[in-house]
Amino acid sequence: MGYDPKLFTGSIAAGGTLGIMIPPSINLIVYGFLTETSIPQLFAAGLIPGLLLALMFIVGTALICIWKPSLGGPSVSHSWGERFSGLKHLVPVLTLFGIVVGSIYAGVATPTEAASLGVLGALMIAAFMGKLSVSVITQALDGTMKTTGMIMLIIIASYFLNFVLASSGVTRELSAFLKNAGLGPYSTLMLVILLYIVLGFFIETLSLMVITIPIVAPIIIALGFDPVWLGILIILLIEMALITPPVGLNLYVVQSVRKGGPFSDVMIGAMPYVGIMFLMAIVLVLFPQVATFLPELLK
Q: Is the pLDDT of residue 180 over 70?
A: yes
The model's pTM is 0.81
Give 270's pLDDT tier (boundaries 50, 70, 90).
Answer: very high
Q: Can you give the pLDDT at residue 218?
A: 87
Q: Is the pLDDT of residue 213 over 70?
A: yes
The identity of residue 86, as a single letter, is: G
Q: Is the pLDDT of residue 233 over 90?
A: yes
| Cis amide bond preceding 24, omega within 30 | yes
Q: What is the DSSP letter of 242?
A: T
**Nearest one of 122, 123, 126, 132 to 97, comparing CA atoms:** 122
Q: Can you give the pLDDT at residue 2?
A: 67
For 73, residues 6+ apart whose C-beta sits below 8 A from its C-beta are 1, 2, 3, 4
**% residues pLDDT > 90 (the chain):** 31
- pLDDT greater at residue 67 or residue 70: 67
Mean pLDDT over residues 261-287, rounded?
93
pLDDT digits (tens, 9 = 90+) for 92-124: 888 988 888 888 878 788 877 888 898 999 999
Mean pLDDT over residues 278-287, rounded?
96
For 21, residues 6+ apart whose C-beta sits below 8 A from its C-beta are 28, 46, 49, 50, 53, 232, 235, 236, 239
d(CA 79, CA 37): 46
Q: Is the pLDDT of residue 262 over 80?
A: yes
Mean pLDDT over residues 50-60, rounded?
95
**% residues pLDDT > 70 (the chain):** 95
Q: Is the pLDDT of residue 181 over 80?
A: no
pLDDT digits (tens, 9 = 90+) for 132-178: 889 989 998 888 888 778 767 766 776 777 677 777 777 677 777 77
- pLDDT greater at residue 10 or residue 164: 10
- Delimit the domains of the chain by residue range: 5-76+153-298
Q: Is the pLDDT of residue 1 over 70?
A: no
Q: Can you give the pLDDT at residue 113?
A: 86
Give 298's pLDDT tier (boundaries 50, 70, 90).
Answer: confident
Mean of all residue pLDDT scores within the chain: 86
**Coil, helix or strand for 131?**
coil
Q: Can you give the pLDDT at residue 111?
A: 77
Query: Among 47-51, 105-109, 163-167, 284-288, which is the least confidently predicted range?
Result: 163-167
